[in-house]
Amino acid sequence: MIIGVGVLLCMSGCQKQDDPDALEVVNYPERQKDFSIWQLEQFNFEVQMCYIIRTDDDKITVVDGGMPTSFEKVTGYLQQFGGRVHTWVITHPHIDHIGVLQEVVKRKEIQIDRILHSKLNEEWSLKYESSMHSLVSNYNKELAQSGISVIDAKNGEIYALGDGVDLKIIGVKNDSITVNAINNFSLVFKIESKSKSVLFLGDLGVEGGKELLRTESPEVLKADYVQMSHHGQAGVGLEFYKAVDPDYALWPTPKWLWENSAEGQGPGTGNFQIPEVRSWMDNEVNVKKNYVAGLEGNIQID
């Protein structure tokens, strides 16, 4: 079941916030062994990605985080939940995914129990995506010196995020894929409870998607919700989304990208793949609804 911000939320126990910058939260006091997930807005119209997950026993997980400029917004929401993150998951080390975490590690305003990622080899990144080598090197160094438990995830591992909520690793680093290198390096995982499952793809590309189709069964990939790869354009292919067969699509996508707008111009003026991907999801995958961060803003999903 998807619930957005609105009248129905407040009928179900909406927490009224005096702070206009607070994250609107709906509590379900009778529910147990489940989770809520917030897809956060695209701050400053920048392409980035951040999800916050809260289990019914109040364990907090963050997926990626977004650009460094989103630090104040994201950490404000985390302080609202108590200022402690039990699991911080990074899909891949590009700045629009790791920037907030880097700032959190530096400033130490949020407690993090563990960081889960697939560690990128710096020599490999220098060879296949040299423009990102400095970022990757600094990120690896910052995590190593943080004093936080950092886990290099392995395929098939399962991590408990809270009571009744598990994270299963489906895809990790694949050094043999050197095209679109760091995006194809994305950690792929599924978060599941008794009522729903969400498949996260990060920025996985076509090549990485084909490899998962080759190595994993449809049952492993199937999910109720899918996070659209690479913000919904130039990510995995149609056959991958068909294998996932989701009911709902989560788009960490700003409005201008959703509308395929070139810089400073109107809808339909860009050269992005997003019109084709939107058509896939509506007409071939047949999702019930697309949830677009650049349109809905912060939205709670249950």
User: How do residues 97-140 score in pLDDT, each as one tens digit?
Assistant: 999 999 999 999 999 999 999 999 999 999 999 999 999 999 99
Please state, in angstroms and rounded to a whole number, the distance separating the CA atoms of residues 284 and 91: 27
User: How do residues 175-219 score in pLDDT, each as one tens digit?
Assistant: 999 999 999 999 999 999 999 999 999 999 999 999 999 999 999
Q: Which residues contact 114 (CB under 8 A, 6 or more apart)?
A: 86, 87, 88, 148, 149, 150, 151
Tokens 């489906």 belong to which residue?
Answer: 170
User: 171 with 204: CB under 8 angstroms?
Assistant: yes
Model pLDDT, residue 264? 85
User: How do residues 239-280 score in pLDDT, each as one tens digit?
Assistant: 999 999 999 999 999 999 999 999 889 999 999 999 999 999
Model pLDDT, residue 15? 53
Domains and CATH numbers, the chain: 32-301 (3.60.15.10)
pTM, rounded to two decimals: 0.94
